[in-house]
Structure 1
Amino acid sequence: MEYKDYYAILGVSKGASQDEIQRAYRKLARQYHPDINQESGAENRFKEIGEAYEVLKDPEKREKYDRYGSAWKAAQQSGGTPPPGYEDVWFDISGSPEEAFSGFSGFSSFFEQLFGQGGQRGGFWDNLRTGQPGGSQFRTMPGVDQEAILSLTLEEAAHGGQREISLTDPETGQSKTYAVKIPKGIRPGQRIRLAKLGSPGMGSGAAGDLYLHVELQPHAAFRLEGRDLYTTLTVAPWEAALGVEITLSTLDGSVRVKIPAGSSSGRQIRLKGRGFPDPKGGAGDLYAEIEIAVPKSLSDDERRLFEDLAQRSTFQPRAVETVL
């Protein structure tokens, strides 16, 4: 059988990763799809691309192809042992199967494995020689998977729910709306799979899937780390010094929080189980970091009180503690 360099067909190196092979296939399949590209030879090129991808995307098939070349399928069918003399199999498809294999011993079974019982003309052989499809295996190809970004607010990701998305068919320009279920507690980087909403298949081939990669929009009050939430709790100097109970907003409503007397900026108040929810149950923690805010302008009374405090207080904020 004429050797086909599947790597060259996809335009990748022999050491290409599976991701590189998939990206190359998607690009070329789109470029040469018969419904898009009407140029002469585009359909045959599309078939070659699909044939190459079907082999190289499968690690087991790829290993057989790398080892046995064009005889990889026969080697696979025979349990890994190629027919005798497979290394020398080169033939001109303009001739007959009998002429092509004349002079080689042990090829009758190999020929049957490749072209069917008895290696008769017609069917696959004539299709291969004439370039005609000749069967569903040439017209059937699964659609490729697609990817898109799904941008959610922190509340949407935490509480879950439903989001409507519109998908536009690049060929017809028509849009269709789908309701997407957002799982409770989904985190950035995770994916939502929408079965059969990727690129359509060819012939009876199944459509690919659409994967929505979740991204979170920046939040004005909270920062997410793992399943823990962080927020800033702003207090006045006298509240930090004397202690106070204040209201703090969470993802699930407001709670009362007690600020201990003598709290400095940077101190964290931990609210257990008030963080980002876990689909398996429970939630992370919420950490409220104290930030002491000083008034930008003072009234006359406020100024006198601060000046009096400065005179009376023995507190030394910049004193160096001696460690014994």
Structure 2
Amino acid sequence: MRDPYEVLGVSRDAGRDEIQRAYRRLARAYHPDVNKSPEAEERFKDVAEAYAILSDPERRRRHDAFSRPDDLWAHAGAAARTAGWTAGPWDGGRRAGFETRFRDDVLDGLSGGFFGGGRTGWGPVAGADQEAVLEVTVEEAYHGTRRTITFDRGPGIRLTVPAGVTEGQRIRLAGQGGRGSGGGRHGDLYLVVRIAPHPRYRVEGRDVHTELRLAPWEAALGTSAPVDTPGGEARVRVPPGTSSGRRLRLRGRGLPDPHGVAGDLYAEVRIVVPRTLSKRERKLYEQLAAASAHDPRSL
């Protein structure tokens, strides 16, 4: 694949937060449910794979090491000593044999072999860690859920998705990754959580955003209005004189956090006027228009 730093558009010394922000921005932009262009799905896969590498300290270290030739041959020297090759100058045939063998194992390693799963004559090698996307709904992210994950080998396994998972969070399934060789253990499978687009909610971190529709008189006079949340219906106090676009906050009604403070829910006001008016309603609106000095265009 392309260089993960290039895919996410971050520098090689980017911190975890910067990498996560870049991933979220690009994942939203290229997700096939949102972006219908032909190349969007492939770009989304590239973004997910790049994030999988750079968000894992060990995988990032391996990538950084093998992406620089000097470091690559430093690993070659260490591998040579481990394999029993003599230090110092090598004769041409012996060195060529090592380089060919090392090159083949490194090529395997780039897809999981050298550090797991590929061919090797150097003893047990652990299988490669692998990743897959796990899509959940907003409600499942809020309440938690159980899924059956099916693999190419063997029966499916029952997976518990804990309440409060967030976009980009990784769930580890031990031993369900690439196969080891030479008696090495299987790698792990990491499921990267993706929260599916929702017709009512928009999720940012643990905060949930939704729309609150109000009648003109409710916005003008103030009211207590019901609002849907992933955890069920709640009520929000609407202050008098509320305009469209105002965000009303319900503390702690976003996604839960098993280890800290839950997110908040933000209800954004949208004032909806009646499409048709009865004779009495029209008369009342005309009276209001005549009595009111309010000019919204002067604000």
* TM-score normalised to structure 1 length: 0.58
Choose 1 or 2 for highest CA Rg: 1
Shift of 1:266: 1.3
Structure 1 unaligned residues grouped into runs of 5+? 1-11, 18-55, 94-135, 170-174
Of 125, 135, 145, which aligns to 2:129?
145
Shift of 1:137: 4.3
Of 64, 74, 83, which aligns to 2:81?
74
Which amino acid is 1:263 matched to?
Answer: T
Contact 1:159–1:185 under 8 Å retained in 2: yes
Deviations 1:159-189 (A, max 9, x none): 22321111123xxxxx621111212211111
Of 148, 158, 165, which aligns to 1:186?
165
Shift of 1:202: 2.3
Of 156, 171, 193, which aligns to 2:140?
156
Contact 2:125–2:180 under 8 Å retained in 1: yes
Contact 2:143–2:231 under 8 Å retained in 1: no
The CA distance in 1 between the partners of 2:295 and 2:78, in whole Å, is 85
Of 262, 265, 287, which aligns to 1:286?
265
Matches within 5 A, 1:174-323: 176-320=155-299
The CA distance in 2 between the partners of 1:70 and 1:289, in whole Å, is 61
Contact 2:223–2:239 under 8 Å retained in 1: yes
Matches within 5 A, 1:104-119: none
Deviations 1:72-121 (A, max 9, x none): 6339999xxx84xx23x11546xxxxxxxxxxxxxxxxxxxxxxxxxxxx
The CA distance in 2 between the partners of 1:186 and 1:154, in whole Å, is 10
| Equivalent residue, structure 2, for 1:90 | 91
The 1:198–1:293 alpha-carbon spacing in structure 2 relative to 1, beyond 3 Å, is same
The CA distance in 2 between the partners of 1:71 and 1:274, in whole Å, is 54
Which amino acid is 1:186 matched to?
Answer: V
The 1:147–1:314 alpha-carbon spacing in structure 2 relative to 1, beyond 3 Å, is same
The CA distance in 2 between the partners of 1:282 and 1:176, in whole Å, is 38
The CA distance in 1 between the partners of 2:75 and 2:273, in whole Å, is 77
Contact 1:268–1:290 under 8 Å retained in 2: yes
The CA distance in 2 between the partners of 1:278 and 1:237, in whole Å, is 36
Contact 1:248–1:255 under 8 Å retained in 2: yes
Contact 2:65–2:72 under 8 Å retained in 1: no
The CA distance in 2 between the partners of 1:253 and 1:189, in whole Å, is 25
Which amino acid is 2:159 matched to?
Answer: V
The 1:68–1:299 alpha-carbon spacing in structure 2 relative to 1, beyond 3 Å, is closer
The CA distance in 2 between the partners of 1:304 and 1:186, in whole Å, is 52
The 1:212–1:285 alpha-carbon spacing in structure 2 relative to 1, beyond 3 Å, is same
Which amino acid is 1:194 matched to?
Answer: L
The 1:198–1:276 alpha-carbon spacing in structure 2 relative to 1, beyond 3 Å, is same
Report the number of matched residues: 213
Q: Secondary structure at the residue paired with 1:219?
A: coil
The CA distance in 2 between the partners of 1:57 and 1:229, in whole Å, is 35
Confirm whether residue 166 of structure 1 aligns to residue 167 of structure 2.
Answer: no
Which amino acid is 2:183 matched to?
Answer: S
The 1:77–1:262 alpha-carbon spacing in structure 2 relative to 1, beyond 3 Å, is same
Contact 1:64–1:75 under 8 Å retained in 2: no
The CA distance in 1 between the partners of 2:73 and 2:278, in whole Å, is 83
